[in-house]
Each structure stands twice: as structure tokens, then as C-alpha cells.
Amino acid sequence: MRTWEDESHPRARIEIIPMIDVMMFLLVFFVLISINVIPAAGLKTRLPTSTTAQDNRETHNAIITVSKFGVMQLDGKETGIAELPERLSALKQTKAQVNVIVKGDAEVELQRLIDVMDAVKSSGIDALSIAARRKP
């Protein structure tokens, strides 16, 4: 009589190497985002430097970002110079105190900055600051 051998089924096992690879990729992306190598949102600007720049600790800030390419944002949302006074007036009605901070690229024309400042003043807001980095 002839007997047939039972087929041996390999045991199922969990492969840990692919899981380690995935965890390393997640760690790398987390580190790159946390040190701002990968920009999260908004326009990329290079602030001008100043020896008297101070840290800003105010709570109700409206940030106007002006890029060297002519794009303007108010609190991360794109806007034009014509809509700026209306949007700032609406913001002033909803909040008790509004401080405006202008983050302009170092290569923005001075006239464009003056136009933004005029738009802020016409909305009735007097607290206006220009963002700058400290010189090393």
C-alpha cells in the first residue's frame, strides 16, 4: 500500500519590515512639516530685517500677506486691494479690537505697501504693524 504525504502548509506570519518602512516614512514627513521644509499653507514670503523688531503677542490679529508677484491675502484667503476695506470693516464689527499686521515680501514695491496701508486706514482700523525678522 502506498501512502501520500500530507501537504505541509506554511504557517502564516506577520511581516514587520514593510510596517517599519511605512512608520519611517510617516516620521520623515512629520519632521519635515514640523520644521517648515514643506510649506503648510499660504504664500511664501521672505520678511525684511529690522534691528528693533519685537515678538507679537496680540490675540486678535488680521494678517495681510503681500507677495512680490502681486498676490494679496487676508488671513490666508486671497483678496484684492478693492475688497480689503470691506473685509476689514466686517472683521472690525465681529471683534472688539483688530490689529493689522502686514507681511510683505522684501521685494514688494513701496507704492503697493502704501496702497495697503491706505486701505487699512479707510476701514477705520488704526493699529497697523509691518512684520519683519530680526537681523542676526
pTM: 0.58
pLDDT in tens, 39-48: 556 677 788 8
pLDDT in tens, 4-14: 676 777 787 88
Identify whether 10 is part of a domain: no
Instruction: Provide the pLDDT for residue 21.
Output: 93
Identify whether 106 is part of a domain: yes
3-state secondary structure the chain: CCCCCCCCCCCCCCCCHHHHHHHHHHHHHHHHHHCCCCCCCCCCCCCCEECCCCCCCCCCEEEEEECCCCCEEECCEEECCCCHHHHHHHHHHHCCCCEEEEEECCCCCHHHHHHHHHHHHHCCCCCEEECCEECC
Give the CATH number, domain containing residue 81.
Answer: 3.30.420.270
Instruction: Provide the pLDDT for residue 58.
Output: 47
Structurally, how many domains does the chain consist of? Answer: 1
Identify whether 21 is part of a domain: no
Which residue range is the domain that position 85 belongs to? 49-134
